[in-house]
Structure 1
């Protein structure tokens, strides 16, 4: 039984990491591949009052249930199915429903802090960090949160300056040193995405031969 290839795609908020992950995913749609978002593994907060849930810092490592994510990855490596959690951002806790994920040959894990946990890093065959200038990231986040999430300009700026940026500098940016490949400018970097796809195909072929 061949071990699945696990690819980690990290980077700051609005860096383009989701686009990179999706681009790689699309290049392998003829293969057995799955994309798992770290955001799905925010901790369950049912035991907390709603007012306390509102104070959750989603950019801090402690917001994530990495134990569950690690357990699920180990199951997928053993070719066992998992029930991926769904996070309810309106209730600020985990939803009751889950998503059935079956074992695949290639697993992409995407999230701002997937390289922060050594246990997760050790499971990855390839580690990417999507590196985009801070000014471009804040512009992208402003556009996304105001247009797609109905937030006010002031609230996005306040959150970014008081929480997102400090957390990025403290926890996200330092994980760049763990990356095998640094991808500048996210999904717009077609050369980097194509090189990644070629590398993944090579690993798949080597595993098949072995």
Structure 2
């Protein structure tokens, strides 16, 4: 293993600001404002490439790294997913073990590079699924979104120069030929439904010659050569320390960027896209009961659900409607309004779930998605843990983003960025929250000036989250 006596270089520009001011543009309210750019922590994902002979232990080494890191934001992507679809003649050769899967031409590098660039940009990437039993690419895909670290493993992981440009660390896995052959036989019989005779035929016909021609030269571009694979604990420790350092740097710059954004936003007036509900006698009365620590749990839930329904109704004022006439069963005509398209909602867990009963009272058949973003107890940085969205959310006329409280705005920033990354137009997002502080609102509307925000109550900038604790009684 080389480079063992030197610290691993950190590529890229770790000092680059995650929040920068963009070009001036027209806002939806007619004013001209500079929009701040928000980069979530998974933007510019760190890509680790692991190449080596078939059976050299690339997958096992990748899994060992993930296991040692013990983090939910590390994803393994196999280059095997990017085998090209075969024409009928090539498919027949594949079933006769006569098709060369171990040549670079068998890999669709154009699609691979496109998906890696999407992930580098913080976008959602649809990864193809290849069936080795059918020797065909399946119709379904697997989505990858928001990894902080991506481990790309495969025999040609370090082959294409375009892929190398995107990598932060390059590893070559080394093992003797007999070990590689025995591992390949075990894997292909167990996982790919092949017979031993066909495996050996492929090994001597394609795998071994192509290793010497295409795979072995990749060691020249590797930062680390790892002999003995998963048994090499020193190499695994070096790699995990490098990844942990990259993650620590990203976390540090993300938190610093949020702080800078907060300072920049303090001097700006509240956006005209923010609507604070009129404090009528009814609302003030309900808020008094909701905030009274002596209110019973039943009263709290009853009045909060009523408040939530009014909040959702107010949020729907930001949705485009069109006139419609309905013929009733008795033969009368009723003229009213109907949303121009489908309206869906995304619940920002856990607090947003307290607004769901109110949502159902207004739109009982509303499609819903869920996002779980929690602050790291050690650093305070918001982290994306769970994500489920309607598959056609990018086509919806409006998307209501529901949260019970917004203080610093870090979770709301990340949630809106997730929706934008999934194709939802900014001006179709309506954030509805029971209470919010001015700093959080400033921060959110500075980055996303075209979203609409509906707030039940303006509160002090730093307020502990208490609504979900009382609503769910835990």
Q: TM-score, normalised by structure 2?
A: 0.42
User: How far did residue 146 of structure 1 move?
Assistant: 4.0
Q: For residue 134 of structure 1, what is the aligned residue in structure 2?
A: 177
SS at match of 1:109: strand
Q: For the residues of structure 2 that align with 1:95 and 1:198, how far apart are their CA atoms?
A: 37
Match of 1:103 among 128, 138, 146: 146
- Greater mean deviation of Cα atoms: 16-25 or 152-161: 152-161
SS at match of 1:114: coil
- The structure-2 alpha-carbon separation of the partners of 1:195 and 1:159, relative to structure 1 and needing over 3 Å to count, comes to same
Q: Is the 8 A contact 2:132 2:192 kept in 1?
A: no
- Greater mean deviation of Cα atoms: 22-31 or 142-151: 142-151
5 Å-filtered alignment, 1:1-210, equals 1=39, 2-45=43-86, 47-49=87-89, 50-52=91-93, 54=95, 55-149=98-192, 151-210=194-253
Q: Is the 8 A contact 1:77 1:103 kept in 2?
A: no
SS at match of 2:88: coil
Q: For the residues of structure 2 that align with 1:95 and 1:14, how far apart are their CA atoms?
A: 25
User: How far did residue 33 of structure 1 move?
Assistant: 1.7
Q: TM-score, normalised by structure 1?
A: 0.91
In structure 2, stretches of 5+ residues that fail to align are: 1-38, 254-474
- The structure-2 alpha-carbon separation of the partners of 1:208 and 1:66, relative to structure 1 and needing over 3 Å to count, comes to same
Of structures 1 and 2, the one with the larger relative CO (CA 8 A, separation 6+) is: 1
User: How far did residue 149 of structure 1 move?
Assistant: 4.5
Decide which structure has greater helix share. Answer: 1
- The structure-2 alpha-carbon separation of the partners of 1:150 and 1:80, relative to structure 1 and needing over 3 Å to count, comes to closer
Q: Is the 8 A contact 1:36 1:108 kept in 2?
A: yes
Q: For the residues of structure 1 that align with 2:116 and 2:105, how far apart are their CA atoms?
A: 19
User: How far did residue 44 of structure 1 move?
Assistant: 1.9
Larger radius of gyration: 2
Q: Is the 8 A contact 2:78 2:153 kept in 1?
A: yes
Matched positions, count: 209
SS at match of 2:128: strand
- Greater mean deviation of Cα atoms: 148-157 or 182-191: 148-157
Q: For the residues of structure 1 that align with 2:107 and 2:194, how far apart are their CA atoms?
A: 24
Per-residue Cα deviation, 1:180-205 (whole angstroms, up to 9, x for no partner): 01110111212211211011111222
Please provide the CA RMSD for this pair. 1.8
Q: Is the 8 A contact 1:41 1:87 kept in 2?
A: yes
